Structure 1
Amino acid sequence: MSQNNRELEQFLYPSTPYRGEFTPEKLLFHANLQQFARQVEYLCALETGGNITAEEAFQQMNHLWKDLKHSRQALGWQGED
């Protein structure tokens, strides 16, 4: 991958390292949370640009939220330790 492609990928898909006590479940949930945030950001941009309605954006965000919640439950991790 060229330097320009890496920079573009980092710009489009920023990520932050996991901070805190490491467990595979927490690391996976962290990745899921970052993906959720990225998708919500895209939906906001689509709604702001007039490509989807506010209701469509809300419905899709609600679906993403439920998916994130289910992933957290499937990982058996409930948050604060």
Structure 2
Amino acid sequence: MSKQGSAEQPDKRKQLDNFVTPRSKYQGKFTPQNLAFNANLQEFAQRVSLICGLETGGKVSSAEAYKDIKKLWKNLKASKKNLIKEKEKPDD
């Protein structure tokens, strides 16, 4: 393998990673907690998309996909609870 081929490999890997798991810049109010939650939310969305693709392609069962997504959802909810402190709602 040529040296040029070796140099192209990390770039191709980075391109593939960016294609498979695209990331968007955070546009909301900046706090470290908001940024961390946004990263967790993007990861959740990417994993759900992957699981849906595997289920659609017949690689995992519907029950297994549901179980995996439910686990991811619980993790995301815990992340929100730990990172985002909601203000108390005023009584209506």
TM range (shorter): 0.7 to 0.9
Please report the RMSD computed on the Cα atoms of aligned residues, expressed in angstroms. Answer: 1.7
Unaligned runs of 5+ in 2: 1-8, 88-92
Determine whether 1:27 maps to 2:35.
Answer: yes
Match of 2:5 in 1: none
Matching residue's letter, 1:6 = K
Structure 1 residue ranges, 4+ long, deviating more than 6 angstroms after superposition: none
- Using the size of structure 1 for normalisation, the TM-score is 0.87
Higher-Rg structure is 2
Once residues 7 and 52 of structure 1 are traced to their aligned partners in structure 2, the CA distance between those partners, rounded to angstroms, is 27
Unaligned runs of 5+ in 1: none
Once residues 78 and 64 of structure 1 are traced to their aligned partners in structure 2, the CA distance between those partners, rounded to angstroms, is 21
- Using the size of structure 2 for normalisation, the TM-score is 0.78
Cα deviation for residue 77 of structure 1 reads 3.2
**What is the percent sequence identity of the aligned residues?**
41
